[in-house]
A and B are shown apart, each in its own frame.
With several copies, the nearest count.
Chain A
Amino acid sequence: MMARLVFLGRLADLAGGAEREVAPGSLARIMADMGPELAQALAGPRVRLALNGALVAGDGLVLKAGDELAFLPPVSGGSSRSG
């Protein structure tokens, strides 16, 4: 069984898709298998991580089979609505 990565917002554009299946293992190893451009974007200081729906720190993170890790860039600002 694999682990799943989820990319939100502009990170999905960089990753070429909103989700990606990866082999379980350390986040460091998973990032190393990506292209450097995507890995650098995912490691940005304003990108937050959610493991199975809970915000987590990336340092030392290891994904188990069935885990879902989401990469969350800063949310968009401004109002899109009138009221």
Chain B
Amino acid sequence: MVSFLGQVRADSSQQGDDVEALELQHYAPLTLPGMEALARDVLGRWALDGLLIWHRVGEMAPGDPIVLVAAASRHRRDAFAAADFAMDHLKSESWFWKREKRAGQWAWVEPREQDYADLARWGQAGV
């Protein structure tokens, strides 16, 4: 079983290392079907005994767990590939709006186009 656990970074997406809190907002009518479609896609690509894709939303502190993906398979190579693929796509197919708190002030994090680069590894465009 391969698992990936992501934790909230202290220095997050922009300069500095003074992030006090992170808030992720999602829109469930889009996020949940997207995650379910991703899970179906992963299960169709590799022979897995089990798959878990979990993502927190709401307010979190640096060091908090934020995402967990786990894939179990008879074959180690499948489990690694499935977890890696799921993480790449979860990042880009999920609709998350993010803001960070620094010195008591919340600020929204701007989009970055380069987030789609990881998807190129899998030979398809980001959705």
Contact = CB atoms under 8 A, between A and B. Distances in A.
Interface string B64-91: 0011000011111001100000010001
A30 to B, nearest CB: 19
Interface in B2-28: 2, 4-9, 12-14, 22, 24-25, 27
Given A8-B27, A52-B29, A76-B109, A81 B95 contact: no
A68 B29 contact: yes
Contact of B13 (A6, A8, A78): A78
A83 to B, nearest CB: 4
A68 B12 CA distance: 33
B113 A77 contact: yes
Given A9-B97, A77-B111, A77-B114, A83 B72 contact: yes
A35 B94 CA distance: 30
Interface of A: 6, 8-10, 12-13, 50, 52-53, 55, 68, 70, 72-83
Contacts of B14: 78
Contacts of B115: 77-78
A77 B91 CA distance: 10
Query: Interface size class for chain B?
Result: 35 or more
B27 A73 contact: no
Contact of B98 (A53, A72, A76, A83): A76
A9 B25 contact: yes
Nearest to A73: B97
A76 B76 contact: no
A83 B4 contact: yes
A74 B114 CA distance: 13
Contact of B6 (A72, A77, A83): A83
